[in-house]
């Protein structure tokens, strides 16, 4: 476990270097600062973007598909619930303790050189707009929790009547292959952009 954890940290450091280079190059209206405080990171803040004109700050939580290096997935998994010590816990999407305003969804992470990430895609998602959209569809935290309770024995994909499974999204239960048994809302990146809550940055 320790070597895996160390490897994960090394991957995150390598990815951070690439992300920072992209932010500096493309976010010309913003400066940014990385958050090293563990307490603030637990609140869903990895990065603070600061508008150079207004000085308004935006809290960003970076979510990266580091399990899929050199692959390009059209979807992203949004964590709804997970288990810890056999207790059901709120995932990061609906967790009201999180101060996240935007997600930086990092996908299509490629490593064309050894121990170096050379390219990736970034989609910024407005968290409050996303939750508002889901609520309008009837996919509230409470309704999703009820759906999950009714399907606790499911492993794999569960189609939701509010979403087109191939064009928009679905639920995914990892009840058999992961210790935390997460339940994720899988959404198409193109769908997030189409409904106006996401914007492809790179």
pLDDT per residue as tens, the chain (202 positions): 233 445 678 899 999 999 999 999 999 999 999 999 999 999 999 999 999 999 999 999 999 999 999 999 999 999 999 988 888 899 999 999 999 999 999 999 999 988 899 999 999 999 999 999 999 999 999 999 999 999 988 999 999 999 999 999 999 999 877 778 899 999 999 999 999 999 998 8
Q: What pLDDT score was predicted for residue 88?
A: 83
Cα-based distances in Å from 167 to 64, 127, 191, 196: 22, 20, 7, 15
Q: What pLDDT score was predicted for residue 3?
A: 36
CA distance 150 to 176: 17
Q: What pLDDT score was predicted for residue 193?
A: 98
Residues 6+ apart with CB under 8 A from 134: 140, 185
CA-nearest of 8, 25, 116 to 64 is: 8
Residue whose pair of structure tokens reads 């869903």 in the numeric block: 44
Q: What pLDDT score was predicted for residue 75?
A: 98
Q: What pLDDT score was predicted for residue 7?
A: 65
Q: Sort strands 57-64 and 102-110 into parallel, antiparallel or unpaired.
A: parallel
Question: Which residue range(s) make up the domain with 192?
Answer: 2-200
- The phi, psi pair for 170, rounded to 5°, reads -170, 170
Residue whose pair of structure tokens reads 């979403």 in the numeric block: 163
Segments of the chain assigned E as strands: 30-34, 47-51, 57-64, 75-84, 87-90, 102-110, 119-126, 156-158, 169-173, 183-188, 198-200
The tokens for 37 are: 């405080």
Residue whose pair of structure tokens reads 């290096």 in the numeric block: 69
Number of structural domains the chain divides into: 1
Q: What pLDDT score was predicted for residue 109?
A: 97
């Amino acid at each position: 476990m320790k070597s895996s954890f160390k490897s994960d940290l090394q991957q995150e450091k390598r990815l951070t270097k690439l992300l920072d280079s992209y932010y500096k190059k493309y976010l010309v209206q913003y400066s940014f600062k990385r958050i090293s405080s563990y307490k603030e990171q637990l609140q869903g803040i990895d990065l603070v973007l600061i508008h150079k004109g207004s000085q308004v700050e935006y809290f960003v939580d970076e979510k990266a598909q580091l399990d899929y290096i050199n692959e390009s997935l059209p979807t992203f998994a949004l964590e709804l619930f997970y288990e810890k010590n056999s207790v059901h816990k709120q995932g990061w999407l609906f967790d009201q303790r999180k101060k996240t305003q935007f997600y930086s969804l990092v996908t299509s992470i490629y490593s064309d050189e050894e121990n170096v990430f050379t390219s990736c895609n970034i989609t910024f998602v407005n968290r409050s707009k996303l939750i508002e959209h889901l609520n309008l569809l009837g996919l509230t935290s409470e309704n999703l929790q009820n759906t999950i309770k009714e399907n606790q024995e499911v492993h794999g994909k569960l189609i939701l009547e509010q979403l087109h499974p191939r064009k928009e999204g679905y639920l995914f239960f990892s009840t058999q292959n992961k210790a935390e048994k997460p339940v994720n809302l899988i959404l198409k990146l193109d769908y997030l952009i189409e409904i106006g809550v996401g914007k492809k940055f790179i």
